[in-house]
Amino acid sequence: MRQQIEERTRFNIGRVKNLLQTYRDVRGVGGGRSSVHQTDILRAGVVLLHATLDDLLRSVARWKWPTSSAEVLADIALVGMKQDVKKFSFKELAEHRHKSVAQVISESIEQCLDRSNWNDTNEISRFLGTVDVLPGNVNQSFPLLQELMQRRHQIVHRADRVDAQGQGNHRAAAINPELLGAWIGAVELFSADIMRELVD
């Protein structure tokens, strides 16, 4: 499982790096400010990079949660039920009578993860506790990850819009390849740190 997670994370980061290179190819050399349409390639990279981070954390959860403590599993709803409903009766359980307990746990975890994402480093820190990783051992990249997550929110929920109009103002917030490159490095560092901390 470790190798699969590492390979998939590298592949996804490679996709973001490809977008970064595509931006550089489109932009070419020369002065002047990039157009919003050109920098939209970088915005797509931000969204894909955040998805890579989410995918890394979901993959770790799929690996570690099935054998985790009852306290961790207590926050996961029974498969087929809404996530905010934690109690169930034999009526709901009877629908799964043909399955093993391990299978019900696995399906419940998968249902939970299908709807999960992480929007700030506090949420990541809480998640790390569920997989027995001390946040202090892997948080050196947190400031940049927080920037990444905030910018992704701005892009996804506001189209990176800037409301100030007038000469010299673009309709989208400024972004540059160096910023995306720094965030790529932060996800790479966090991935290496968390994988180092996880016990097989």
* Number of compact structural domains in the chain: 1
CA-wise closest residue to 145 among 123, 113, 112: 123
Task: Identify the band that residue 168 occupies on the pLDDT scale cut at 50, 70 and 90.
Answer: low
- Whole-number pLDDT of residue 99: 84
Mean pLDDT to the nearest integer, 126-145 = 96
CA-wise closest residue to 64 among 138, 145, 142, 128: 128
Task: Kindly state the percentage of the chain with pLDDT values over 70.
Answer: 93
In sequence order, which residues have a C-beta less than 8 Å from that of residue 122 and are 6 or more positions away? none
CA-wise closest residue to 57 among 3, 136, 107, 123: 123
Of residues 96 and 86, more confidently modeled: 96
* Cβ-contact 17, 183 below 8 angstroms: no
What is the full DSSP assignment across 160-179?
TB----STT--SB----HHH
- Whole-number pLDDT of residue 105: 86
CA-wise closest residue to 190 among 152, 142, 146, 150: 142
CA-wise closest residue to 49 among 184, 190, 189: 184
Mean pLDDT to the nearest integer, 6-32 = 91
Q: Find the domain containing 165 and state its range.
A: 2-197
Mean pLDDT to the nearest integer, 141-163 = 95
What is the full DSSP assignment across 48-105?
HHHHHHHHHHHHHHHHHGGGS-HHHHTTSPPTTS-TT-----HHHHHTTTTS-HHHHH
**Model pTM?**
0.89
Query: Which residue type does 9 have?
Result: T
- In this structure, of 103-117, 144-158, 174-188, the range with the lowest mean pLDDT score is 103-117
What are φ and ψ of residue 131, in 5° steps? -115, 20
Helix (H) or strand (E) holding 190: helix 177-197
169 pLDDT higher than 90: no
